[in-house]
Structure 1
Amino acid sequence: MTTGQERVESVVRTIAETCVANETYFGDLDSVVGDGDFGYSLARGFENVLAGWDAYDRSDAGTFLQKVAVTMSGRIGGTSGPIWGTAFLRAAGVVKGKDAVSGDDLVAMLRAAVEGIKARGGAEVGEKTLLDALVPMTDTIEARLAAGDDADAVAKAAATTARAAAEATKELQARRGRASYTGERSIGSVDPGAVAVAVLAERVAETW
């Protein structure tokens, strides 16, 4: 197992444990204008990821992520399963068969995940979804890597950007998901998916 692959596994485990720990928080955010099941769905999906952790094929980082994606897609209810599962699957495709995972690979994985989410959910940036935090965060990672920052600085910058972008979703009107049914009433509250991205980015930066 390469150092890059170990890092991928560490990040995925951090994401899984953080989603389980924040089930109530994410659910409360979703209940403001949504159906309130976001936290529950993520927690159940990632509990299954953790339950099967030791059995996943670790031939390479891509194979590992593919196994995570299959678990996510098959074990999460509602729209979260297909969307998060697709994100992991697209990211897996970028590093399938690779012996190492570089910073450029990370950016490519995130870009692939974004395109997968767009394709699966039909959303674009500005429609009050997790993309409104994920895309700016990815842009920051790419820019900081290009500037030559070390991994710790990149992770911290990514978390800062994700948090600011998530908070900015208060000003947006939801155009996708259950929240879109509330129209202008969705303005003034943050998007739970975007906040989840921020929380995860912050936790990854803390544990890096």
Structure 2
Amino acid sequence: MNTAAIQRLLLADAGFVVRELVDVIQRNRDHLSEIDAAIGDGDHGINMSKGFGQCGARLDARGATSLPDALDVLSTSLMEGIGGSMGPLYGSFFMDFAAALKGRDMLDAALFGEALSAGLAGLRAISDATVGDKTLIDTLAPADAAFHEALRAGDDFRHALAAMSAAAERGKESTRWLQAKIGRASRLGERSVGTLDAGAVSCCLILCSIASSIGARLN
């Protein structure tokens, strides 16, 4: 039996993916700020927690929410609630991710792959960052590639999500030994080597949380 064909999730009931994501970011607020303090402003965790917290409050007020709608709320909350570049970057990612899901009833591996790639494309449309620049792209791009590679290899949805998470972890860790080429950290030159990029870390948390939330509930 091709298990990939039956591993699906009803989008109308999947707003929990975003609610659990809010919890993950808020729990890691201090951790993200500590990482950011080494070569950045030290406020990444605070800003992320603020934006995701606004999303959580709005979702609580709305009650049960579909995944596309919850992602739209998250996108708006991040664009409004996070200063600097991260609000637009993550806001664009989630906005385009959500757009790929609209009008669909079930989330399967193929649709998730479309949404993930759409989110990455949306982010790249407003950022010049590439793999190797010590940014969240070093987490997101390999994760996207790994998910699609797993599907091409015949893996089911759950295993493809696991491959995505593993690639996100590797991408995050790769930033430790990269020299920053974008943002405030780039001013440090070689002194930026030896520390993780906070955006890469938060992106890893996001992707792993999404994978865990969906993977645990696939039928």
User: Structure 1-normalised TM-score?
Assistant: 0.88
Q: Determine if contact 1:29/1:192 at 8 Å carries over to the other structure.
A: yes
The answer as to 2:16 corresponding to 1:49 is: no
Q: Name the counterpart of 1:11.
A: 17
Q: Determine if contact 1:62/1:97 at 8 Å carries over to the other structure.
A: no
Q: Name the counterpart of 1:127.
A: 133
Code of the residue aligned with 2:182 in structure 1: it is R
Identity of aligned residues (%): 32
Code of the residue aligned with 2:73 in structure 1: it is K
The equivalent position to 2:185 in structure 1, one of 172, 179, 184, is 179
Tell me how far apart the structure 2 counterparts of residues 99 and 199 of structure 1 sit (CA, whole Å): 26
Shift of 1:204: 4.2
The answer as to 2:88 corresponding to 1:98 is: no
Tell me how far apart the structure 2 counterparts of residues 180 and 37 of structure 1 sit (CA, whole Å): 17
Q: Determine if contact 2:18/2:70 at 8 Å carries over to the other structure.
A: no
Deviations 1:152-200 (A, max 9, x none): 3223222221111111112211111211121111111111111222233
Output the aligned Cα RMSD.
Answer: 2.3
Deviations 1:60-117 (A, max 9, x none): 5434322321122111122211111111111122122222222122112111111222
Shift of 1:56: 4.7
Residues 197 and 123 from structure 1, CA distance in 2 versus in 1: closer, same or farther, beyond 3 angstroms?
same
Moved more, 80-89 or 119-128: 119-128
Residues 102 and 167 from structure 1, CA distance in 2 versus in 1: closer, same or farther, beyond 3 angstroms?
same
Shift of 1:146: 2.7
Q: Determine if contact 1:128/1:172 at 8 Å carries over to the other structure.
A: yes
| 4+ runs deviating over 6 angstroms | none
The answer as to 2:115 corresponding to 1:109 is: yes
Q: Determine if contact 2:39/2:185 at 8 Å carries over to the other structure.
A: yes
Tell me how far apart the structure 1 counterparts of residues 49 and 81 of structure 2 sit (CA, whole Å): 10
User: Structure 2-normalised TM-score?
Assistant: 0.84
In the TM superposition, 1:24-103 aligns within 5 A as 24-56=30-62, 61-103=67-109
Tell me how far apart the structure 2 counterparts of residues 24 and 182 of structure 1 sit (CA, whole Å): 23
Shift of 1:29: 0.5
Tell me how far apart the structure 2 counterparts of residues 174 and 199 of structure 1 sit (CA, whole Å): 20
Code of the residue aligned with 1:129 in structure 2: it is T
Shift of 1:134: 0.7
Q: How many positions carry a matched residue from both structures?
A: 207
Q: Determine if contact 1:123/1:129 at 8 Å carries over to the other structure.
A: yes
Moved more, 58-67 or 123-132: 58-67
- Asked which structure has the greater RCO (Cα within 8 Å, sep 6+), the reply is 2
Tell me how far apart the structure 1 counterparts of residues 14 and 92 of structure 2 sit (CA, whole Å): 17
Tell me how far apart the structure 2 counterparts of residues 32 and 116 of structure 1 sit (CA, whole Å): 29
Residues 94 and 58 from structure 1, CA distance in 2 versus in 1: closer, same or farther, beyond 3 angstroms?
farther
Residues 151 and 119 from structure 1, CA distance in 2 versus in 1: closer, same or farther, beyond 3 angstroms?
same
Shift of 1:58: 7.2
Code of the residue aligned with 2:132 in structure 1: it is G
Q: Name the counterpart of 1:144.
A: 150
